[in-house]
Amino acid sequence: MTDYEPLTELTEEILSEITTDGMSTYEKVKACYDYLINECEYDKNKPAVFQSFDDMGYGLMINAYDMLKDHKGVCHHYAAAFVALTRYIGLESYYQLGETHKASGGYTGHTWAVIIIDGTEYVFDPQVEDNIANGGEIKYQRFCKTYDQVKDKYIKYESNFY
């Protein structure tokens, strides 16, 4: 499903473990989101790649592979991995650059995933959700939300990677 065979193989392996043919698309997306939150951890020292040479974006593919293989990364890795998983199950998703609201106030640079459903953009932010859960129950505060539902939480940049 990608131009990077190691990512395709790893994506197939993970999806075969966390989804079944009988699941709805919503259940599959939720399983992908839960997988990233439960199996991965934030690592501010993990470098991210920001190059786009093809349809999925070279940087997106490398970041996705790194997260799915090592289970460590920053927001770019979480978003890229989520995009890779959801594209594999057939959804129109992309990697959005911008800023997110900090708990302490103000904004900070950030990357999250967006899935377009019936022409509407929905935010999926497994990295922030992982931070909110902090090892506990997932609250789904940044799962399948329109920008109006997470008002003042995101500033989108013009650039994104499809």
Please give the domain boundaries of the chain with CATH numbers for all domains.
Answer: 5-161 (3.10.620.30)
Beta strands (DSSP E) in 14-145 are 41-42, 72-73, 93-101, 107-117, 120-124, 143-145
93-101 and 107-117 beta bridge pairing: antiparallel
Average pLDDT estimate for 63-88: 96
- By CB atoms closer than 10 A (0-12, 13-18, 19+), residue 152 is exposed
What tokens does 82 get?
């989520």
Per-residue model confidence as pLDDT tens digits over 104-135: 999 999 999 999 999 999 999 999 999 999 99
Beta strands (DSSP E) in the chain are 41-42, 72-73, 93-101, 107-117, 120-124, 143-145, 154-161
Q: What is the Cα–Cα distance from 132 to 31, expressed in whole angstroms?
A: 18
* pTM: predicted TM-score of the whole model, two decimal places: 0.92
Average pLDDT estimate for 85-97: 94
CA distances 60 to 8, 56, 107, Å, are: 13, 7, 23
Average pLDDT estimate for 32-48: 93
User: Per-residue confidence at 154, pLDDT binned at 50, 70, 90?
Assistant: very high
